[in-house]
Amino acid sequence: MLFNDQLEGRAPPITYQVKNAYYTNEYYLTDNIYANWPIFVKSPTHLMDAKSKKFKVMQKATRKDTEQTFGVLQARWAIIKEPARLWHKEELSDIIFTCIILHNMIIEDEGEHAMKWEEEVSDEASSSLAAAHPRTGAPSEFRAFVARQASMRDAEMHARLTLDLKEHIWSCFGPIKP
């Protein structure tokens, strides 16, 4: 479901350059349980050189920051704790952005004191959420759909992207500092 808009050709086109190569698929930082696809960037499992070590440290730090940010939102708003499979993506996006905006407004208004609160535990807070009906339907151009899916699963492109990102991080940040 994460990539439905991209698969169905509704996502805005993206192009970015890493080193001397251009890429057109968005990607997520993941752990090693995911497939070797260019939409998933994983940490190296076997650390062979300093560049791989630096890449792993930077990738892990970025994933940790993202997970902590989402954890703060989940702790503050019960609606984010609920299963999301049956919600429309547009509604999920609005919910997440609203929670982020509200969180930032609270921090701006209350400062550091806003971080010292206790989580309210209530089954009633989230039990009234109505599950939306999932949207269904086939993409209009099947060949384009298949081509987009193939590009999202291209193992060679995954290897090139991972190598290019590793080289880019090394050129920007250099070796791990003791």
In this structure, are residues 169 and 55 in contact, taking their beta carbons and an 8 Å threshold?
yes
pLDDT, position 132: 45
pLDDT, position 116: 54
CA separation for the pair 161, 113 (Å, rounded): 42
pLDDT, position 11: 82
Surface-to-core class of residue 151, CB atoms within 10 Å of its CB (0-12 exposed, 13-18 middle, 19+ buried): middle
pLDDT, position 2: 62
pLDDT, position 140: 52
pLDDT, position 157: 92
pLDDT, position 121: 43
DSSP conformation class of 12: P
pLDDT, position 125: 41
- In DSSP notation, 20-48 reads TEEE-S--EEE-TTS-S-TTEEE--SS--
pLDDT, position 165: 93
pLDDT, position 164: 93
Q: Which residues of the chain have pLDDT under 70?
A: 1-2, 47, 85, 111-141, 178
pLDDT, position 88: 81
Give the pTM: 0.58
What are the sequence ranges of the domains in the chain? 4-173
